[in-house]
């Protein structure tokens, strides 16, 4: 992976800060986790033009961009406040799972973790 531009890193960090305020979540307590996800998002912006989630494997990144499912914030984040990358987490460093539908992999992996700011949750319509 090539190094992202400093300007793009700054833009992504700024976005992450604003999105945390909007959702009432925080970034991972281990700075290296946050830095790796931010760098991956910035790299995808520089190389693909879009913030494609860096935590997944894509046989065809161009097709994934068209579907928009894994553009940050991904569909699970927008619908359920659940971040696969663990970039946006609760105060315990866990992804929020309480809004996920029954049977979702996040509940199986982490159990039910509470949303620290349920008033900032907009359920899917």
Active-site residue among 55, 74, 83, 85? 55
CB 40 within 8 A of CB 1: yes
Helix, strand, coil content of the chain in percent (nearest 5): 45, 5, 50
| The pair of three-digit structure tokens given for residue 4, joined into one six-digit string | 């992202």
Closest CA to 93 of 113, 77, 74, 79: 113
For residue 34, say if its preceding peptide bond is cis, omega within 30 degrees of 0: no
Query: Which phi and psi (to 5°) does residue 52 adopt?
Result: -70, 135
Instruction: Report the sign of the C-alpha dihedral through residues 59, 43, 47, 52, in that order.
Output: positive
Told to judge if 53 belongs to the known catalytic residues of this protein, a careful annotator would answer no
**Which residues are part of the catalytic machinery?**
55
């Amino acid at each position: 992976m090539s190094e992202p531009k400093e300007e793009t890193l700054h833009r992504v960090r700024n976005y992450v800060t604003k999105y945390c305020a909007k959702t009432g979540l925080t970034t991972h307590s281990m700075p290296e986790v946050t830095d790796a996800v931010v760098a991956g998002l910035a790299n995808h912006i520089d190389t693909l033009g879009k913030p494609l989630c860096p935590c997944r494997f894509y046989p065809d990144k161009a097709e994934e961009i068209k579907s928009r499912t894994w553009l940050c914030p991904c569909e699970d984040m927008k619908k359920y406040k659940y971040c696969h990358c663990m970039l946006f987490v609760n105060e315990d460093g866990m992804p929020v799972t309480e809004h996920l539908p029954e049977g979702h992999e996040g509940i199986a992996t982490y159990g039910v973790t509470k949303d620290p700011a349920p008033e900032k949750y907009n359920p899917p319509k």
